[in-house]
C-alpha cells in the first residue's frame, strides 16, 4: 500500500472525537510514555506524537485487523494488535511497567459503522456480525438465533436499556423458529412492531448497541482495563476516557471517583478512604460545532483523572 493511500485511508477511517480536549487532558510530558488503547484511525495517537519529544514513547492497542493498516511510521510509536483488556501484560512484554498517561476512546469507529460487511449498522443489509476482532467466535447472528428467549431479553434490557425486552425477545424467537434471522434487515423486519414512527432509529440503535456490547464483552473489557490503570500510571499520570453511552460513562465516573465500580472505596491503615484518582475538571461534551461536523460525536463524554500518590 502506497503512503498516499495509507494516509487517505486513515483520514477516512475515523474522525477523532474531542481530539484536543482529550489530549490536553493527558498533560503530555515531552519525554513521557503514553498509551492509546483504542488506536483506530490513529487520530488521537498522531496528536500525542505531535506533543512528544524525541525521547517520548507511545504504545497503541487495537484488536481490529483493519486498524493495523493505519500504523504510524515513527520510531517513537508501537502498535500492539491486542484487546486493551490485556494492557498490563503486553506493556510488560515491552519492558514497560509505568506510564504517564492513558487514553481510551470507547466508541465504534466510523470505519466499522461504514463497512457494510461488519454488520454494525442498520443502513446495510449485512450479515449480523459486530465483532471488533475477527478472531472472536460469538457474533450477533449467533446471539439472535441461538440465545434462549430469557438470555436474549436480558441482553436487550441490560445493554440496550429496552424496557420491553421480554416482548421483543419473544417476537424474535417466534420469527427465528420459522426462518433464521441472518442479516441486519432481517432483524429490523422481525421487530418492526416495536418500532413506532419517529422512534425507530433510537430503538434500533439500542438493539444494535446491546448486541455489539454482548458480542465484544465490552463492559467486562472496560472494567478489566480500568482496574489495571492505577498500577500502570505514575503518580500524577493522567487517564483520559471518552464514553458514548450511560453504561460506559457510569463505570468510568464511579471508578475515577472511588476506584471501585460499586460501594465505597477501600480504607487505608488509618481508616481514611484510599482513592487512586482525583477528577480533573468536569465532564466535557463536544461543542455544537463539532457535533455539526461529526454527528457521531453527539453522545460523547470525556472524563479525566489524575493518579494520586500510592
pLDDT digit string, tens, across residues 257-281:
999 998 777 766 666 778 999 999 9
Taking residues 88-102, report their average pLDDT: 98
Of all residues in the chain, what percent are helix, strand and coil, respectively (each to 5)?
Answer: 45, 15, 40
Phi (first) and psi of residue 6, to 5 degrees:
-60, -45
**Domain regions of the chain by residue span:** 3-111+218-307, 117-216
Taking residues 145-170, report their average pLDDT: 98
pLDDT (tens digit per residue) in 291-308: 999 988 999 999 999 999
Using an 8 Å Cβ cutoff, are 120 and 108 in contact?
A: yes
Separation CA 86–CA 89 (nearest Å): 5
pLDDT at 109: 53
Residue 7: which pLDDT band, with cuts at 50, 70 and 90? very low
pLDDT at 299: 93
Distance of CA 204 to the CA centre of its chain: 19
Q: What is the mean pLDDT of the chain?
A: 90
pLDDT at 269: 63
Burial of residue 91 (number of CB atoms within 10 Å: 0-12, 13-18, 19+): buried
Among the residue ranges 96-105, 116-125, 235-244, 299-308, the one predicted with the least confidence is 116-125
CA nearest neighbour of 89 among 56, 70, 61: 61
What residues contact residue 293 under an 8 Å CB cut-off, 6+ apart? 15
CA nearest neighbour of 306 among 258, 235, 250: 235
Residue 3: which pLDDT band, with cuts at 50, 70 and 90? very low
3-111+218-307: CATH topology is: Rossmann fold (3.40.50)
117-216: CATH topology is: DNA polymerase; domain 1 (1.10.150)
pLDDT (tens digit per residue) in 114-148: 454 554 556 668 999 999 887 788 999 999 999 99
pLDDT at 122: 62
Phi (first) and psi of residue 115, to 5 degrees:
-85, 110
Question: Any bridge partners for residue 101, and if so which?
Answer: 34, 238
Using an 8 Å Cβ cutoff, are 125 and 187 in contact?
A: no
Handedness of CA 222, 225, 231, 236 (dihedral sign): negative
Separation CA 29–CA 5 (nearest Å): 32
pLDDT (tens digit per residue) in 164-194: 999 999 999 999 999 999 999 999 999 999 9
pTM: 0.89
Using an 8 Å Cβ cutoff, are 176 and 146 in contact?
A: no
Amino acid at each position: 500500500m502506497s503512503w498516499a493511500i495509507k494516509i487517505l485511508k486513515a483520514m477516512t477511517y475515523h474522525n477523532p472525537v474531542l481530539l484536543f480536549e482529550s489530549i490536553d487532558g493527558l498533560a503530555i510530558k515531552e519525554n513521557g510514555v503514553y498509551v492509546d488503547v483504542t488506536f483506530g484511525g490513529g487520530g488521537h495517537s498522531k496528536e500525542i506524537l505531535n506533543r512528544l519529544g524525541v525521547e517520548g514513547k507511545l504504545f497503541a492497542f487495537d484488536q481490529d485487523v483493519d486498524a493495523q493498516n493505519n500504523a504510524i511510521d515513527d520510531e517513537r510509536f508501537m502498535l500492539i494488535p491486542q484487546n486493551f483488556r490485556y494492557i498490563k501484560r503486553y506493556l510488560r512484554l515491552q519492558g514497560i511497567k509505568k506510564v504517564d498517561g492513558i487514553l481510551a476512546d470507547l466508541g465504534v469507529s466510523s470505519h466499522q459503522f461504514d463497512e457494510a460487511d461488519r454488520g454494525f449498522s442498520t443502513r446495510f443489509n449485512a450479515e449480523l456480525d459486530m465483532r471488533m476482532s475477527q478472531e472472536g467466535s460469538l457474533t450477533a447472528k449467533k446471539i439472535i438465533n441461538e440465545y434462549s428467549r430469557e438470555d436474549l431479553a436480558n441482553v436487550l434490557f441490560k445493554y440496550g436499556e429496552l424496557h420491553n425486552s421480554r416482548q421483543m425477545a419473544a417476537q424474535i424467537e417466534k420469527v427465528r423458529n420459522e426462518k433464521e434471522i441472518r442479516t441486519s434487515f432481517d432483524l429490523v423486519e422481525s421487530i418492526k412492531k416495536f418500532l413506532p414512527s419517529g422512534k425507530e432509529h433510537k430503538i434500533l440503535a439500542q438493539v444494535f448497541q446491546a448486541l455489539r456490547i454482548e458480542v465484544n464483552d465490552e463492559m467486562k473489557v472496560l472494567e478489566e482495563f480500568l482496574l489495571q490503570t492505577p498500577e500502570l500510571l505514575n503518580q500524577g499520570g493522567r487517564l483520559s476516557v471518552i464514553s458514548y453511552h450511560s453504561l460506559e460513562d457510569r463505570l468510568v465516573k464511579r471508578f475515577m471517583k472511588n476506584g471501585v465500580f460499586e460501594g465505597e472505596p477501600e480504607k487505608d491503615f488509618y481508616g481514611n478512604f484510599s482513592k487512586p484518582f482525583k477528577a480533573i475538571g468536569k465532564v466535557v461534551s463536544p461543542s455544537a460545532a463539532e457535533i455539526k461536523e461529526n454527528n457521531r460525536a453527539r453522545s460523547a463524554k470525556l472524563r479525566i483523572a489524575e493518579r494520586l500518590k500510592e
